[in-house]
Amino acid sequence: MSQSIQAIIAERRSIKKFNGRSVSQSDIVEILDVASWAPNHGNREPWRFIVAAENGLDAIRNTMKECTIPNWGQLPEEEIEKKTAGFKLPGAFVFVVVPEDVRQKERLEDFSAASALIQNAQLLAWGKGIGTCWKTPAWMELPKFRQALDVKPGERILAMLQFGYYDELPKAKARTPIEQKITYFG
């Protein structure tokens, strides 16, 4: 990684327009391997991943279409194309699955740890020239989709991470000056 971590944090953007180029499964595994060093209470490592890259791309795209678009088989082709456009261009998908611990404290710790892992993955991907977008579409919780991904009761799909290459870098959105977000105690 030739860029500083500070530069990667400041420059990373969520990519929503991918160019369709596939991301290698080995790059995804390498990113997740390093990202898994995220802090997690008790070293519980409260995550697992469903990765669709290379040969798995067509299968996950078909699964998303069949599970998320009601009556898709009866819709006109142009409407199906419009509804599935976002599925076609990412070069890989990673679904992050976490346990839903019945204890509130542990559940929050697990969600927080997995969120740190997701941020790590996005930063690592950016350092490799791979864009990402963290998505949480409501259809991830549909029983048919959960079953297709073999998500068990007591588990939750926390995120759908899209990985891919891009041709245009989105403009940075303005951030609130940090001084406006700080309250000094004492």
- pLDDT for the residue 1: 47
pLDDT tens, position by position, for the chain (186 residues)? 467 889 999 999 999 999 999 999 999 999 999 999 999 999 999 999 999 999 999 999 888 888 877 766 677 778 777 777 777 899 999 999 999 999 999 999 999 999 999 999 999 999 999 999 999 988 899 999 999 999 999 999 999 999 999 999 988 889 999 999 999 999
Q: Which residues are annotated as a binding site for FMN?
A: 12-14, 41, 134-136
pTM: 0.91
- pLDDT for the residue 68: 78
Domain boundaries, the chain: 18-56+89-167
* CA gap 50, 152 in Å, rounded: 13
Please tell us whether the domain made up of 18-56+89-167 is placed in CATH 3.30.565.10: no
Q: Which residues are annotated as a binding site?
A: 12-14, 41, 134-136
